[in-house]
Amino acid sequence: MTERLVQQISANIEAVYDNVKAKVSYALKDSPDRSLPRLIAVSKRQSEDRIEAALQAGQRVFGENRVQEAAERWTHRQASYDDLTLILIGSLQTNKAGDAVALFDEIHSLDRIKLARSLKKAMDNQNRYLPVMIQVNTGEEPQKGGCLPADLPALVAECQTLGLSVKGLMCIPPIDDDPSLHFHLLHRLAQQNGVEKLSMGMSSDYAIAAAMGADDIRVGTAVFGCRDT
Ligand SMILES: *Cc1c(COP(=O)(O)O)cnc(C)c1O
């Protein structure tokens, strides 16, 4: 890894925060105690030297969408950094719930009751209780993960019954839609269902999401550059 790559990724991270601050500053006038969103650097399918550069640049919160890939990339690094926060942002099969609970610090892609039960069982087995966010399929796209808005109240209620700590909601807007419609819907669903946090916004729309009240933004290519395909 070169010094140049560290500088590049530092500059990318700084640019993300600058864009966020530019959008959030006016929103902060309404609620001055609101803090800037947390940047989840999405490291899926990025090269090892870019990951190392991001760590050297001081980034400590990372998002991954596959359990196996994340384990290969992060297990050894968790041993050397005690301040990493690793977040699952991709769909999870119930039979991988145990692996996910062991590896990750937060799970942001809970989307069905069966998975909630598997996660709770895995947390009980490992005595390791992670915060979760529920992914909502705000565009109701058949190919996409996330619970339908209509199914959200039942899922939230089941999590409460199980004793899972639901921190908030996450969404990935349809590629061709105005993302602000989906961010607005997510905000409303959070209020209606009594959950607090919002994870919304990716490389193309994180500044809009920040202006609309995102607590977490999930940024991959704007931090690291294009992914391997
Ligand atoms: C890949 C991914 C991202 C990051 O996407 P970019 O466009 O590279 O910023 C964010 N959220 C989820 C759920 C993802 O799978």
Q: What is the pLDDT of residues 81-92, one digit of tens each?
A: 999 999 999 999
At 175-186, the pLDDT tens digits run: 999 999 999 999
* Between residues 31 and 123, the one the model is more confident about: 123
pLDDT number for residue 35: 80
Residue 1 in this model has a pLDDT that exceeds 70: no
At 9-39, the pLDDT tens digits run: 999 999 999 999 988 876 666 666 668 899 9
Q: The tokens 């530092």 sit on which residue?
A: 10
Which of 20, 42, 111 gets mutated to test ligand 1 (max ligand atoms within 8 A of its CB)? Answer: 42
Share of the chain above pLDDT 70, in %: 95
Give this prediction's pTM.
0.96
pLDDT number for residue 32: 62
Which of 19, 20, 89 gets mutated to test ligand 1 (max ligand atoms within 8 A of its CB)? Answer: 89
Strand-pairing partners, residue 85, are: 61
Q: The tokens 């946090």 sit on which residue?
A: 197
Q: Is 90 in the pocket of ligand 1 (CB under 6 A)?
A: yes
Average pLDDT over residues 219-228: 95
| Amino acid letter, residue 201 | G
Q: What is the mean pLDDT of the chain?
A: 95
Query: Residue 40 — very low, low, confident or very high, per pLDDT cuts 50/70/90?
Result: very high
pLDDT number for residue 29: 63
- Distance in Å, CA 10 to ligand 1 centroid: 19
Q: Is 179 in the pocket of ligand 1 (CB under 6 A)?
A: no
pLDDT number for residue 27: 62
pLDDT number for residue 228: 79
Alpha-carbon separation of residue 199 from 99, 133, 168 (angstroms):
23, 8, 7
d(CA 80, CA 208): 35
pLDDT number for residue 216: 98
